[in-house]
Structure 1
């Protein structure tokens, strides 16, 4: 570490900040369903997830090698390019967190890297084949595969549960949820923590500290694991609420099926070196589980907003990364300007989030009922308790010619 320059040190710190935002942005992937069904208390859930994310960071380095030597060509890439890429990824992560949208931290990072590299050295700086096979194809396939697996698993769990005691079944699936949530957290550590390891390793290569193709040093693995664990513990409560309550209403059986399906997909991809989005995998699994229960629904208005965010993530982060790289290419003042823009943007987003804070005390509160579900509920509530007096028909006229009084009916 003795050859690390000031700029390289700034890049490493910025990478760990991205890792931190990745942790609290993606906590929902593992724990949203467990929290929404009441299987674990919110703070207990995020603490458990943080520990397992840290453990998962030490289990593999295949994804880290994909990031450090696969997506962009190391030759000719300056350290400033990595800094610009991280700025784009961090700002997109914070913006989608503010909006409560479970977008992909992974694709934000990839977009930032691609945009900054192209701005610096042209399109030859990116490996198109690697991007297609290890980023774009998994991005499309992962939520579909996880969703289909969760759909089938949910159908199976309800079929099995129909022959057993409901209370015992529910209790068993809550325990299963805790175990499967732990598995997702472990999988998240093996996949997402490695992305930061790969970025830091890439920065060390561009700075001449490591040889091209080198594996992440141990201090990089430890620091990346700690950063993502700390972010996970603080919890991205806004996205947890969207994943746990906004997409569909989940029962313990569905939560167990969703988390098990997502964890299987993530762990398999980590083993193969595919740098997929854990957010998209878990979101697909939640929707599949929602459709798998008879009578279950997916709130497509929320899902549509999420799909739009998925589609915008890579190009939006790429544009910010390219703009940041343009500034860093101007010299020291440009690097300082990008750093100030990052601090100003992050501070603005944080202050906006304080207007309507979401934390462990209100993360499970219901916001708005599903669109169209009981569309007349507002009218029913207005009429509840209202008494309308309707005069009864007049009795036949008496000898005096005046109608005899009759009791009124109240509804």
Structure 2
């Protein structure tokens, strides 16, 4: 088998594996609130989220098409398809490491950082990166959780004012049913943004290896397989991370869960519609913290929040360094 074909095939396989891992790694963020309040049983919530993830992933391609040109020019790289493969392998390794310890790190940061790290290692200089596009992506990744926190704080402050004369128990009872709907929409929003990142990377590899024209969009088979892989991964469920998101940030009630879901899904869907990749993990977790702060800042476990922030900060550079190491070791053997 021709080496280019083999490497491209491996990219598709590893890319789908990344989406599968992303599914059970990140789906916790979409359903943790409704599981922690017992609005849905864990298995039911996860299966619902898997279906909604698939529908979201199959609905959009704008983020994927932006990624194919905004990180790096595949034609500027020697063995561009090999670079993409090393980046994917590094991102998979990082996601598995953070899943083992139950820490909701950003799959988006891991993937984008890994592709950038492998590209720089291959070229030997940073100018290989598309600075304008790469900077836009990084700014979106940094600002989106801040916006999520602010929206969460604002929405729950509005809820507190609207339901100020109602008993808490009655309000929670009313919001428990609504929480099922917001959790479903949350999972849909997750699919619209997260699955597209791998679609973009696979498309990047197909362009670099000459199987697609530079102006070509995301092939439907790539879109379908990425959506299916994430949905199947979602159905497995990331119970370790569900525990962290659902219980260790703050004590979530139906009313606070609905506020957090509405906040995060609105930010994620807005990003999808304007073709910006954001970290769904960061947006969801920061929205929960924003809601908790609006409710009572002492309700938020800031120690968990600090640990999450540290993980978010180190993910992109760590994934980049890991990808550079994977590339150098692999290139010494295969190139």
TM-score normalised by length of structure 1: 0.78
- 3-state SS, counterpart of residue 179 of structure 1: helix
> 1:331 offset after TM fit, Å?
4.4
Q: Distance in 2 between matches of 1:229 and 1:157?
A: 32
* 1:48 paired to 2:48: yes
Query: Which of the numbers 130, 146, 153 marks the counterpart of 1:144?
Result: 146
State how 1:8-407 maps to structure 2 within 5 Å: 8-77=8-77, 78-121=80-123, 122-133=125-136, 135-164=137-166, 166-294=168-296, 297-332=299-334
Instruction: Name the SS of the counterpart of 1:89 in structure 2.
Output: helix
The SS at the match of 1:110 is helix
Distance 2:184 2:323 in 1: 34
Relative contact order, higher structure (CA 8 A, sep 6+): 2
Contact 2:70/2:132, CA 8 A, preserved across alignment: no
Q: Distance in 2 between matches of 1:179 and 1:235?
A: 19
Cα displacement (A) at 1:159: 2.5
Work out the CA distance in 1 between the residues paired with 2:44 and 2:259.
21
1:313-361 CA-partner distances (Å, limit 9, x unpaired): 00110011111111232243x7xxxxxxxxxxxxxxxxxxxxxxxxxxx
Q: Is the 2:50–2:232 Cα contact (8 Å) retained in structure 1?
A: yes
Structure 1 residue 250 displacement after superposition: 1.1
Q: In structure 2, how many angstroms separate the alpha carbons of the residues matched to 1:92 and 1:219? A: 27
State the aligned residue count. Answer: 331
Cα shift at 1:151:
1.2
Structure 2: give runs of 5+ residues left out of the alignment.
none
Identify if the C-alpha distance between structure 1 residues 49 and 4 changes in structure 2 by more than 3 Å, giving closer, same or farther: farther
Runs of 4+ that moved beyond 6 A? none
Tell me how far 1:54 sits from its aligned partner.
Answer: 0.3
Higher helix share: 2
TM-score normalised by L of structure 2:
0.95
Q: Is the 8 A contact 1:87 1:320 kept in 2?
A: no
Runs (5+) with no aligned partner, structure 1:
335-411
Q: Deviation per CA, 1:80-108, whole angstroms, max 9, x where unpaired?
A: 10111011111111111111111100000
